[in-house]
Chain A
Amino acid sequence: MGKKEMSTYHRPFPNTWWLKRKPYVLFMIRELTSVFVAGYCIFLLVFVYKLTQGADVYGNFIDALKSPSSVALHFIALAFVLYHTITWFNLTPKILVLYKGEERIPQGLVAGMFYAGWVVVSVIVALFVLGM
């Protein structure tokens, strides 16, 4: 029977912790996608700014946007923003816990409401854009 003072063992928690399990990887991607969401918001601000600078400046800007690299970048951004949106919509039932009497409103339904709202807004935007 040793009389050594008892010491607990603290396991290291490496920086690569998020590579250990799939849910953590997905979480990290979700965090990463917010960079793209933020980036695209800045882009939209620039877009509006250019619009105020007169037709010429705006025209050049639009032309630049048509370059293949810019289009590619847009697709990448779209993919990330979609990922971001979907993961967050799927999380909404955790934030919005609704009850009808004793029964909790199913989580799928809550998330579904957001998807439905998304579709409606997208259709309106599409009509607006295409209608122009």
Chain B
Amino acid sequence: MAETMKLEIFRYHPEKDNEPTFQTYEVPFLEDWVILDAINYIKDEIDGTLSYRWSCQMGVCGSCGMMINGVPKLSCAVFLKDYYPDKIRVEPLTGFPVERDLIFQMDDFMTKLTEIQPYIIRNKDEEKPLDEGEYLQTPAELARFKPYSMCINCMLCYAACPVYALDSTFIGPAAIALGQRYNMDSRDHGRDARQELIASHEGIWECTFVGECSAVCPKDVDPAAAIQRAKVSSTIDWFKDVLIPWGKKK
């Protein structure tokens, strides 16, 4: 083996361990290997018992998020060469319970995603029959919500969020961004239905604007911006309610 590199990997097995341990593996160093390639190499050639999630290998399925030297990353999108020759420490995403090795539990997010109602809600009687074709939406209207629709549910933003780690009732960046994605879609009328949750204590007001969710997001979704903008519009709602109670939403 020519050049090699060391990976120090978080191991935890619920059937055997009470506490996690770290195990160090030596893998070949290849210029064009991503960290996931090295982990697959370990699984195939060194240790079949290592468990982790992956599929697409192109940064779009959102399965392979891991802490790489303490920073949340998609392991299929970061290269060994960016760390060479130092040892790389690989852990499951923080903020979530660990199921086994690098596999964390994301049930909580799935529940929150459902609660945020991430689908088009139309006013009663304003559904357009399919025969009448598509809803018109200009490229400019599309551009308003497009960035928020790019979320791959990779959970890196949650792993970067200290608020979520301290209090997991916080709805969190991606779920709120997805709520905003529909709120800002010109075809949607569901903002009021989502607002109850978004503007609740567990919603946007829990956010202290650390901003790291946006910094680690691999798809430039900018969930921090989604949350801050929701704060602004909720505040405007509040002023409208208080100052012009009779002028309440149409």
Q: Do chains A and B touch in the complex (CB under 8 A)?
A: yes
Enumerate chain A interface residues (CB-CB to B < 8 A): 2, 4, 6-11, 13, 17-18, 20-21, 23-24, 27, 31, 91, 93-95, 97, 99, 101-104
- The docked-state distance in angstroms from the alpha carbon of A102 to that of B212 is 27
Q: Is B127 an interface residue (CB 8 A)?
A: no
B15 contacts A2, CB within 8 Å? yes
B211 contacts A94, CB within 8 Å? yes
Nearest B residue to A13, CB-CB = B165
A88 to chain B, nearest CB (A): 9
Q: Within B139-165, which residues are at the interface with A (CB < 8 Å)?
A: 139-140, 142-144, 162, 165
- Interface residue from A4, A20, A24 paired with B15 (Cβ < 8 Å): A4
Q: Is B182 an interface residue (CB 8 A)?
A: no
A9 contacts B15, CB within 8 Å? no
Nearest B residue to A104, CB-CB = B143
Enumerate chain B interface residues (CB-CB to A < 8 A): 12, 14-17, 19-20, 70-71, 94-95, 97-99, 105, 139-140, 142-144, 162, 165-166, 208-212, 214-215, 222, 224-225, 228-229, 231-232
List 10 additional contacts besides A9-B17, A11-B94; criterion CB under 8 Å: A6-B15, A8-B14, A8-B98, A13-B166, A18-B162, A20-B70, A27-B212, A94-B228, A102-B142, A104-B143
- Interface residue from B17, B144, B162, B166 paired with A99 (Cβ < 8 Å): B144
- The docked-state distance in angstroms from the alpha carbon of A109 to that of B162 is 29
Nearest B residue to A7, CB-CB = B14
A27 contacts B210, CB within 8 Å? yes
Nearest A residue to B208, CB-CB = A31
Please judge, given known A-B contacts A8-B99, A17-B165, whether A91 and B211 are in contact too, CB under 8 Å.
yes
A12 to chain B, nearest CB (A): 10
- Interface residue from B15, B208, B215, B229 paired with A97 (Cβ < 8 Å): B229
B115 to chain A, nearest CB (A): 22
Please judge, given known A-B contacts A17-B165, A18-B162, whether A9 and B12 are in contact too, CB under 8 Å.
yes
Sampled A-B contacts (8; CB under 8 Å): A4-B14, A7-B14, A9-B19, A9-B20, A13-B95, A13-B166, A94-B211, A94-B222
- The docked-state distance in angstroms from the alpha carbon of A102 to that of B142 is 8
- The docked-state distance in angstroms from the alpha carbon of A2 to that of B13 is 11
A95 contacts B225, CB within 8 Å? yes
B73 to chain A, nearest CB (A): 13
- Residue of A8, A102, A104 with most chain B CB atoms under a 10 A cut-off: A8
B218 to chain A, nearest CB (A): 16
A23 contacts B70, CB within 8 Å? no
- Interface residue from B98, B162, B210, B232 paired with A11 (Cβ < 8 Å): B98
